[in-house]
């Protein structure tokens, strides 16, 4: 392995560690940090970055669900879970198809920026609200 490859691996591990640390610290998923970071690093185009972050979020969500299934309560409303699952699936399909076909890369970047701003504002509000 050449020096450039080793440096890239170290850089990626450090960035992944920082994303994991921030996610754990503020209590939100790492995808909200991954997408803007990849945009800042000009890793690829906005659509590919959004797709990559979506896969990252999916894997984290499946892991979280698997962890929660270890401690399921006895009175689970399976109809509600199924309805929410279908809604999430349909919304995800609609959003991904709309984003990949209708929106140009600048629009995808702007939507990502708005979502990051909203998530950051929400976390900040929660923490400031606790100080009162």
pLDDT tens for each residue of 68-103: 778 877 788 889 888 998 998 898 888 878 877 787
Is 83 within 8 Å of 25 (Cβ atoms)?
no
Is 33 within 8 Å of 128 (Cβ atoms)?
no
pLDDT at 83: 93
CB atoms within 10 A of CB 102: 8
The residue range of the domain holding 84 is 3-131
- The count of structural domains within the chain is 1
pLDDT at 90: 92
pLDDT at 131: 52
- pTM (two decimals): 0.57
Is 108 within 8 Å of 46 (Cβ atoms)?
yes
CB-neighbour burial class of residue 31 (10 A; exposed 0-12, middle 13-18, buried 19+): buried
Give the residues of the chain that fall short of pLDDT 50: none
pLDDT at 86: 92
């Amino acid at each position: 392995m050449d020096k450039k490859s080793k440096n890239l691996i170290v850089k990626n591990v450090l960035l992944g560690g920082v994303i994991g640390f921030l996610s754990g610290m503020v209590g939100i998923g790492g995808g909200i940090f991954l997408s803007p970071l990849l945009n800042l690093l000009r890793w690829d185009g906005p659509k590919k970055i959004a797709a990559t972050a979506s896969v990252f979020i999916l894997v984290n969500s499946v892991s979280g669900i698997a962890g929660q299934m270890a401690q399921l309560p006895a009175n689970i409303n399976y109809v509600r879970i199924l309805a929410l699952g279908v809604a999430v699936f349909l919304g995800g399909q609609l959003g991904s198809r709309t984003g990949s076909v209708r929106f140009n890369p600048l629009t995808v970047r702007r939507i990502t920026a708005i979502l990051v701003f909203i998530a950051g504002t929400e976390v900040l509000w929660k923490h400031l609200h606790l100080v009162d």
